[in-house]
Structure 1
Amino acid sequence: MVVQSNSIVDGVYKITLDEARLINLAISKIKKNDSLGSPVRITHSEFSNTWGIRDNNLKRRLSDIGDELIQRTIDTISTDKYTGRKIKTRRTWISKIEYNMDDIEQYIEITFSPDIEKFIYQLKNNFTMFEIENVSNFTSPYSFRVYAWIYKYINFSSNIKDGLHFTDQITIDDFKEMIGISNSYEKYKYLKSGVIEKTIKEINKYSDLSVILEEFRIGRSVKQIRFVFVKEKATILKSLSIKI
């Protein structure tokens, strides 16, 4: 089970596919009562079996993933309770990584940074939880990001109508920033075909959600989007006329 604070789900960060796999697997191994600062050990066989990877050079691959991940940052957005101003805080994901390179039991051990621990350990509220099996066949980091963000809304009573769940509307610029591609896909039509449609297709094919895209225009230009979804596999969703 992957359990993470909604601050992480809403966070702004860029990540590769293998880094997304490693982070999600590490978070899924954290137990409810694990103490802050507890390292998370992932064996090479766990990583390959969870994601269906067959790589004869997995030792080198995981070493490279760790070397890149320890440099990655995530921005979280909060509101100052006195001024109401939005505050962006940048944190690093990982404070330490250890590699056991023995041939008998090879593993990588991750210690999340102290600033991130509060978002993934001993959570009481404002978190999103999903089965790792529902993302185990994803082949794009955007699928991980968008799936978790959509899933956040599944328990929001204000975001359901007539049995359909829906996300809040998000501007195109904010969506691109969230998934780490602010400087790419200048035209929406390329973002839609290159990222959004492929992500929806993968989520619908491999996860427990059925999702469609809804666009909001000013004039002829799409300025905001949102996702409408149901938790069960429902191909009928594709032909629904959305009136929310």
Structure 2
Amino acid sequence: MNNYSVTKSNNLIDASYKLNVQAQKLVLACLSKVDSRKAIPKEISITALEFSELMGIEHNAHRELYKAADALFKSSITLVDNNEEVELYWVQKKVKKLKGQGKVTLVWSDDVLKYISQLRSRFTSYKLRDIADLQSSHSIRLYELIMRFNDTNIRKISLEDFKAALGISDKYEQYKDLNKWVIKPALKELGKKLDIEVTTLKTGRKITALYFTFSDKKEVQQELDLQQR
């Protein structure tokens, strides 16, 4: 399995956007190919073979790559920077598909480069392999949201911000529906990698925030192994 890392500014981690799972993986695969501490080239290409190997896609990698590219072009990002709400786009123009070569070329927007290039502080990094086999876009976004607090293994987030980050602000008005269709499936999928639990916090009788506690199962097992020696 690959050992590449993905790095984003914390503003982008907490941003509001909605991408399908393959479009998210396309962004992350491209980010894993560059060094975010340096100036990132405005254009980046990735082949279907690379996409397949990085993300463990066994079938129809070409088709999934092209579908991801189409979705990426249509998606915007809303984030807060210096207390100002900003809307920007991932790519500057429609992703170029080189079908004969099984490859796509992305042209990052000038705005998004600020949040993925020459990062020196306030960023989050994680291993690409840790999200490669996730099948839900919600699972990927939840993983990113909690990894921002990997130093404490605790993340408190308002319900409003959580829904915005997953691009579902206009859905699941009832918490029971959000829990059934989004939170529980994401926790189940992430449970293969993490010991993760969620507690709801209320203001009055209304649920207004979520409190995630988590730990890496591999790290916990390593600690147990050391204690037993």
TM-score interval (norm. to shorter): 0.7 to 0.9
Residues 124-181 of structure 1 show CA distances to partners (whole Å, capped at 9, x for unaligned) of 11000000001111010011111011000123xxxx3xxxx2113x222221111111
Partner of 2:160: 173
Is residue 2:200 matched to residue 1:215? yes
Contact residue 30 and residue 121 of structure 1 kept, 8 A: no
Aligned 1:90-239 pairs, distance under 5 A: 90-96=87-93, 97-102=95-100, 105-155=101-151, 160=152, 165-168=153-156, 170-205=157-192, 207=193, 209-233=194-218, 234=220
Contact residue 216 and residue 224 of structure 1 kept, 8 A: yes
Structure 1: tracts of 5 or more residues without a match: 80-85, 236-244
Contact residue 38 and residue 119 of structure 2 kept, 8 A: no
Partner of 2:84: 87
- When structure 1 is superposed on structure 2, of 90-99 and 219-228 the one drifting more is 219-228
Match of 1:63 among 66, 82, 85: 66
Partner of 1:7: 11
Whole-angstrom distance in 2 between the partners of 1:136 and 1:60: 17
Contact residue 37 and residue 120 of structure 2 kept, 8 A: no
**Matched residues, percent identical?**
28
Whole-angstrom distance in 2 between the partners of 1:33 and 1:218: 41
Instruction: Give the aligned residue type for 1:101.
Output: K
Whole-angstrom distance in 2 between the partners of 1:122 and 1:232: 32
Partner of 1:21: 25
Structure 1 counterpart SS, 2:191: helix
Residues 61-87 of structure 1 show CA distances to partners (whole Å, capped at 9, x for unaligned) of 4223212211210011123xxxxxx32
Whole-angstrom distance in 2 between the partners of 1:138 and 1:60: 18
Structure 2: tracts of 5 or more residues without a match: 222-229
Instruction: Give the aligned residue type for 1:3.
Output: T
Whole-angstrom distance in 1 between the partners of 2:177 and 2:201: 17
Whole-angstrom distance in 2 between the partners of 1:228 and 1:182: 23
Whole-angstrom distance in 2 between the partners of 1:171 and 1:36: 33
Aligned length: 215
Residues 180-214 of structure 1 show CA distances to partners (whole Å, capped at 9, x for unaligned) of 11111111011112111111111121x3x321101
Structure 2 counterpart SS, 1:11: coil
Q: CA deviation at 1:28?
A: 0.7
RMSD: 1.9
Contact residue 124 and residue 148 of structure 2 kept, 8 A: yes
Whole-angstrom distance in 2 between the partners of 1:34 and 1:41: 18
Structure 2 counterpart SS, 1:7: helix
Instruction: Give the aligned residue type for 1:167.
Output: R
Q: CA deviation at 1:119?
A: 0.9
